[in-house]
Structure 1
Amino acid sequence: MSQTERSVLNYIRHALGNHLSIPILWYISHHDKATYEQIRGYIIYVTNTDLKQALSELVTYHVLNDKQGVYTFTKDGQALVPIIDEIFQWAQTTAKKS
């Protein structure tokens, strides 16, 4: 594996590696925007600290914008929407086999 590949994979791990990232991104992708309270109501069994950290990481890595407590995708983050949908479809299909 090249150094460039390692760097890219490391970036992905940091930007999207939080266990809450996919549920957060899926929720926002289906609502265009969301407040902390809306996301908190959607994702159950999560601490406020963990959710705040996940949102902060997504903002830091330019996946989401935080404008006065309303989260939306950045232009770069918007490119993840089809990927999030594919992951969701994969999970629906494979979960039935488990």
Structure 2
Amino acid sequence: LMKLLTWMDHHRYRLDFISLSGLQEYQTYLVDLDYKQTSRARMLSAIRRLFQYLHREKVRADDPSALLVSPKLPQRLPKDISEEQVDALLDAPDPNDPVELRD
């Protein structure tokens, strides 16, 4: 949030008057600084929480962050397990115990 406040001060924005377009400018600024999508998503989450708080406490009549679009985050696939790990899983149940074989 300090980065946002510093940027707002430099661009003469105030928390109680910044608009959606001002916050979108800030998002563009973060893209220009080459922040990863995950970092920008975390920053945006903090910004949303800040403006929700300001709205709830009646510092602002609206919440301009509610309409901000989150960066598209990459979907990560699970890692493969080795043949040894597969064998260990298959050998784990006791073949004489029907409950272990079922599970």
Band of TM-score, shorter chain: 0.3 to 0.5
**Structure (1/2) with the larger helix percentage:** 1
Specify which structure has the bigger relative contact order, considering alpha-carbon pairs within 8 angstroms and separated by 6 or more residues. Answer: 1
Tell me the TM-score normalised to structure 1 length: 0.36
Tell me the TM-score normalised to structure 2 length: 0.35
